Structure 1
């Protein structure tokens, strides 16, 4: 019965997401056309003007569905509130960044210190709440050893690092039609099933709702995309996924099932670092790594399909581990 709940929550969130995305596309098309980087793959130049900030639909769909579950008494209201605070909060940071870049035509958007500072504040709020008001407090589950380890005073900086790393990794992954939305749907489904398996209802319901919202958005975001999620969506997805995983004490599974996110972020770090120390040389033809494969001759659809398969395999590995 508990696994049927995953399907019901996903379906409700999927329907809401499809409806809102369909409604928002013409509105965003008038106000929020996407700018395309000139040094990117030439095939992306045709995407100029595609409406961005479509992640608004994902946020509304997942939030309404999760709140509905809380109202019905299916999940803990306080736990639901803290996850949604992080989810919506990171979405708002992305929204303001998108608003400045896409609508106000300020290419810089939020300054790096502003964006990172706001993300850090939200991450600290989550860490302090979890350390003081949740069962298990500062304990972290170690998957391979199947034990819990108390991180003590290191728990808060650990949580802050996990949230910031995951959020920005998802943001870097959002570069091809359907890539971030599809991959996040798979990973959210993993945490939904894991949560219901171990009776962690709050995180499980939220992840089910986020999976459905991503799939609903994917209807319009698949190649050729009619809408992009923008930082509004990618930051929300990263923050919400991290918050749910940490609340379920499954945060150390994030780099395993979300290995693709890690690789995407690492490719950027390596590219920038090597460029600086080598005097202008590059490891990849272009970073993040999904653009490298495009530069190698793979079509956008082929890259996305390959990355989806990789994400599914990582999720399967996660089930074997737990």
Structure 2
């Protein structure tokens, strides 16, 4: 590399911060502004949705030379560019869910076909040896990419939530990449972390100023979700981590998405309609303010990711790690099956732990389910 790793990261950080500042001023003219609707959106003022665009542009510009000269993982940038374009159209015109999902599947195919990052081996989940996917490898890779991207998009409901949820698995995968000397992956992860950190100055409730606000947008959640799942598949197929550990690293977004789909299907509702039954909504309806809800989900994400990675590092068998994940998933589905009751239980638990200072009110009585706009 002609630039040091630190130099690349500083360049990404500064460029992302500068681009956010510039694009935020241009956002109204570009139509990249999220307007409050007093129904399912928590913000009260029109807010630019250019954070993800700035992160993606900073990565594409700063790392272009590195990947052109090193060979690295340059084909990924075609996938990122496709996601950026699709995200911009979605932020501007709100694409139908099926169109977005098909686009994510196509990007997953491009990643597998061009970059060669394919989910071939699920690991020894049942104790009978590695589960090889064979001809189903590329289709399941496409589904994994689309699922992760959509899960990241759906968790992006409060300031700082999606970015913080992405930072946790990225930081843990950085440690694994460093341990195994994977230079291209280290450059990608650290650069992505630098871009996300710059964005958090404009979005995270503990870091941003009162007048310095910007949203990630569908562009950002698309790019973050894609790069996170791409790295997970890449590292797992290199033998750096068990494939099942990926489900721990991205545990909360995936579990929350699964819970919403199952719950709405049982009630005969569409999983794709907007609603207020995601985990962050449940915490808010329990009486937590936005900052406390965000930090609570970050803490749970960190603990769950540490559990999965920790079990792998101490040598716990893959079938047991898989069994524990299934138990956690089923427990989460059961606990959140009735959103109103879940919020009430959380409220009582917070009070029982004498953490009333975290509450800003009692349990709110609301319609949690899909809302027609």
State TM-score, norm by structure 1: 0.80
Match of 2:34 in 1: 34
Structure showing greater radius of gyration is: 2
Q: Name the one with the larger helix percent.
A: 1
Find the partner of 2:89 among 91, 96, 100: 96
Q: Distance in 2 between matches of 1:153 and 1:32?
A: 41
Indicate the larger mover: 197-206 or 64-73. Answer: 64-73
Say if 2:125 and 2:131, in contact at 8 Å, map to a contact too.
no
Match of 1:247 in 2: 234
Say if 2:67 and 2:74, in contact at 8 Å, map to a contact too.
no
Q: Deviations over 1:41-90 (max 9, x none)?
A: 6xx251x31111321111012233433432563xxx2x522222223322
Q: Deviations over 1:126-156 (max 9, x none)?
A: 22346xx57x9834555997x8653211211
* Counterpart secondary structure, 1:188: helix
Q: Distance in 1 between matches of 2:123 and 2:10?
A: 31
Say if 1:123 and 1:159, in contact at 8 Å, map to a contact too.
yes
Calculate the aligned-residue CA RMSD, in Å.
2.8
State TM-score, norm by structure 2: 0.70
Say if 1:123 and 1:163, in contact at 8 Å, map to a contact too.
yes
Say if 1:257 and 1:317, in contact at 8 Å, map to a contact too.
no
Q: Distance in 1 between matches of 2:225 and 2:119?
A: 22
* Counterpart secondary structure, 1:80: coil
Q: Distance in 2 between matches of 1:16 and 1:186?
A: 22
* Counterpart secondary structure, 2:201: helix
Match of 1:122 in 2: 107
Q: Distance in 2 between matches of 1:217 and 1:137?
A: 31
State the aligned residue count: 293
**Mapping 1:271-286, distance limit 5 Å:** 271-276=263-268, 286=276
Indicate the larger mover: 297-306 or 26-35. Answer: 26-35
**Does residue 51 of structure 2 align to residue 54 of structure 1?**
yes
Structure ranking higher on relative contact order (CA contacts 8 Å, 6+ apart)? 1
Match of 2:74 in 1: 81
* Counterpart secondary structure, 1:150: coil
Say if 1:170 and 1:234, in contact at 8 Å, map to a contact too.
yes
Q: Mark the runs of 5 or more structure 2 residues left unpaired by the alignment.
A: 314-373
Say if 1:139 and 1:151, in contact at 8 Å, map to a contact too.
yes
Say if 2:24 and 2:50, in contact at 8 Å, map to a contact too.
no
- The alpha-carbon deviation at position 306 of structure 1 amounts to 1.0
Q: Distance in 2 between matches of 1:296 and 1:315?
A: 25
Say if 1:50 and 1:228, in contact at 8 Å, map to a contact too.
yes
Q: Deviations over 1:84-127 (max 9, x none)?
A: 22233222211111121xxxxxxxx2223322222211112222
Match of 2:150 in 1: 168
**Does residue 66 of structure 2 align to residue 69 of structure 1?**
yes
Aligned in 2, Cα 1:215/1:276: closer, same or farther, shift over 3 Å? same
* Counterpart secondary structure, 1:177: coil
Q: Distance in 2 between matches of 1:57 and 1:9?
A: 16
Aligned in 2, Cα 1:137/1:167: closer, same or farther, shift over 3 Å? closer
Q: Mark the runs of 5 or more structure 1 residues left unpaired by the alignment.
A: 101-108
Q: Distance in 1 between matches of 2:217 and 2:194?
A: 18
